[in-house]
Structure 1
Amino acid sequence: MNVKPRKTSLSIRKLEALIRRLPPYHPKLPFISEELSKKMAGYKGECSLDFYLEFLDPKQYFIFHDIRLKDDSRFFQTDTLIMTRSDLIIIEVKNIAGTIYFDPLFNQLIRIKEGKEMAFPNPLIQVKRHESQLKKWFRNNGLREMPIHSFIVISNPQTVIRTTPDNSLISQKVIHREAIPSKIIQFENSLHPSTFSEKELKKAIRI
Structure 2
Amino acid sequence: MAQIINKSNHLRKEIIVAYLKMIVCFIAAVFCMILAVYTYGFSLIATLVLGVYIKKMKTNISIVKSGLEGEKEVLNLLADLPKRYKVISDILIQGKNTSSQIDYVVVGSNGIFIIEAKNIKGTIKGKTGSRYLTQIKKGKGGREYSRQLYNPALQVKGHVLGLTKLLNKNNVHSYIHGMVYFANEDSKVDFKSNDIVVLSKSKDNLLKYIKTYKKDGVKLTPKEQVEITGILKKQVM
* TM-score of the alignment, normalized to the shorter chain, above 0.5: yes
Shift of 1:171: 9.8
2:182 is the alignment partner of 1:154:
yes
Paired AA for residue 107 in structure 2: M
**Cα distance change, pair 170–95 in 1 and its aligned pair in 2 (3 A):** farther
Normalising by structure 2, report the TM-score: 0.75
Cα distance change on mapping 1:183 and 1:146 into 2, 3 Å: same
Deviations 1:36-89 (A, max 9, x none): 11111111111111232122012x211011111222343211111111234210
Deviation at 1:107, TM superposition (A): 3.8
Among 13, 16, 19, the residue aligned to 1:13: 16
Give 1:168 shift: 7.3
Q: Matches of 2:110 and 2:196 in 1, distance apart?
A: 23
Q: 1:143 aligns with which of 154, 162, 171?
A: 171
The offset of 1:193, in angstroms, is: 6.9
Out of 69, 74, 94, which is 1:44 matched to?
Answer: 69
CA distance in 2, matches of 1:7, 1:122: 22
2:117 equivalent in structure 1: 93
* Structure 1 residue 147 displacement after superposition: 0.9
Give the gaps of 5 or more residues in structure 1.
none
User: Alpha-carbon deviation of 1:131?
Assistant: 0.5
**Structure 1's 55 and 34: CA in aligned 2 closer, same or farther, altered over 3 A?**
same
- Residue 146 of structure 1 and its aligned partner are, at CA, apart by 1.2
Does the C-alpha gap of structure 1 residues 14 and 168 become closer, same or farther in structure 2, counting only changes over 3 Å? closer
* C-alpha contact (below 8 Å) 1:103/1:110 kept by paired residues: no
Partner of 2:92: 68
Q: Per-residue CA shift, 1:75-104, capped at 9, x if unaligned?
A: 211111111234210110111111111223
Aligned with residue 176 of structure 1, among 187, 201, 204 = 201
How many aligned residue pairs are there? 200
Aligned counterparts of 1:170 and 1:134: Cα–Cα separation in 2: 16
Q: Mean Cα displacement is larger for which, 3-12 or 193-202?
A: 193-202
Q: Tell whether the 8 Å contact from 2:153 to 2:196 is kept in structure 1 after alignment.
A: no
Question: Per the alignment, in what secondary structure is the counterpart of residue 6 of structure 1?
Answer: coil
* Change beyond 3 A, Cα 1:77–1:171: closer
Q: Distance in 1 between matches of 2:133 and 2:97?
A: 29
- Displacement of 1:205: 2.2
Gaps of 5+ in 2: 30-49, 139-143, 232-237
Identify if the C-alpha distance between structure 1 residues 154 and 77 changes in structure 2 by more than 3 Å, giving closer, same or farther: same
Pair 1:129-2:158 in alignment: yes
Query: TM-score with structure 1 length normalisation?
Result: 0.84
